[in-house]
Amino acid sequence: MRTARTPRGTARAALAALTATAFAVLPATPAHADAIRARQWGNEALNADEAWRTTKGEGITVAVLDTGVDETHPDLAGNVLPGKDFIGFGARRGDRAWARHGTAMAGIIAGHGHGPDGGDGVLGVAPEAKILPVRVILEGSDKARAKARHTKGSALAQGIRWAVDQGADVINLSLGDDSESAHAEAAEDAAVQYALAKGAVVVASAGNGGEKGDRVSYPAAYPGVIAVTAVDRYGTHASFSTSRWYATVSAPGVDVVIADPDRKYYEGWGTSAASAFVSGAVALVRAAHPGLTPSQIKKLIADTARDSPQGGRDDDKGYGTVDVAAAIEAGAKLRPADLKAATTGYGGPYFGPGPTPEEEHEEPPGPLAPVTGGVGALLVVTAAVLWRAGRRTE
């Protein structure tokens, strides 16, 4: 799918790239509510339980630039701030193609569960953080996505700047363009640099192109971004996860439990989820050490990652899987840097060694390869209903 352009030549396809058969309902009886937590292996992988002894993210705002967020979901109620819609049309509340991907990401970041003692539903990495929803893309099933593709290509850049101006501490970008025509957009790059200069940490999905050529994905490839690849519960690089020079760290991205506006729970996979996990982790680090700059936090997250690849880093996993408790502990030894000095004066094209020139090649997608192209959401839901919120069995 090629990138569409506005007359000004800066538009990127603003649509969620999900497979047409992404959601399927299992015929089996829904799992018991506490089975949801048992399936949530991601928080344990990030060592979140240990980090929660210090903070659960209170006082931190994470902007979720996505398809919208259902602020009434029982796992998110009270944690979602008033947001902004930069698309202005498409599916609305109550439609099936509304806010599914964004709600899933918000739940991973700041879900607090529901029911007695919050014991049911999804528990996010930073359950006391606030979510700032910014609608900059449409779901893949939204009939208006073609219109958005041609008319709202500037939404991402506008959304980043707006979120920063509202005081967002972390910007989560669980989206990306890894189409054949993908390239850096000056307005988006400038918006990312604006965010970093204002002290906001920017986290993005590395891309789901691992089985179709590992093409560069934007915004993950912009300088200063924490680009996140996906691993499974065993710490193995997910085959669908793009491997490129910009990979910073890895996080859970396979069999991830997600909340949905339909009040059911599903399992999904993708670097979208991995990005959301890291945004939650960054929220905890920001809460514990509010004076650290985005560049300090990026380095801290990388330096304290566990299961580092041989040689310390590779394109599959970056510097390893995030360990948020270790990052918080190590952060206590750092002195806050000067924000202006930390975000200006860099003249190189990349943070890190940069890409190695290689011959472009195209590989046929695997049977589970997601459809991508344009600014798309990088999460695919592969499994069924695990539980319906608000109903409990004994």
Element (H, E) at 229: strand 226-231
What are the two backbone dihedrals, phi and then psi, of residue 296, each rounded to the nearest 5 degrees? -65, -40
Q: How far apart are CA 111 and CA 105, in angstroms?
A: 9
Tell me the chain's radius of gyration from C-alpha atoms.
19
Q: Of 70, 73, 101, 142, which is the active-site residue?
A: 101
Closest among 323, 280, 273 to 57, alpha carbons compared: 280
3-state secondary structure of 194: helix
For 101, 200, 304, the CA distances from 330, given in Å and listed in that order, are 33, 20, 8
Q: Of 141, 154, 272, 275, which is the active-site residue?
A: 272
Q: Of 66, 120, 315, 323, which is the active-site residue?
A: 66
Task: Establish whether 241 is a catalytic residue.
Answer: no
Task: Establish whether 101 is a catalytic residue.
Answer: yes
3-state secondary structure of 13: coil
* Residue spans of alpha helices (H) in the chain: 33-39, 41-45, 48-51, 100-110, 145-151, 155-165, 186-197, 271-288, 294-303, 324-331, 339-343
Q: How far apart are CA 200 and CA 316, in angstroms?
A: 26
Q: How many of the other CB atoms lie within 10 Å of CB of 236?
A: 14
Q: Which long-range contacts (CB under 8 A, 24 or more apart) does 367-371 make?
A: 368/211, 368/240, 368/269, 369/208, 369/211, 369/212, 369/240, 370/17, 370/18, 370/19, 370/208, 370/240, 370/270, 371/1, 371/17, 371/18, 371/19, 371/20, 371/140
What are the two backbone dihedrals, phi and then psi, of residue 101, each rounded to the nearest 5 degrees? -65, -45
* Cross-strand partners of 170: 62, 201
Let me know if 1 is exposed, middle or buried by CB neighbors in 10 A (0-12, 13-18, 19+): middle
Could you give the angle at the alpha carbon of 230 between the alpha carbons of 276 and 387, nearest 5°? 60
Task: Establish whether 272 is a catalytic residue.
Answer: yes
Catalytic residues: 66, 101, 272
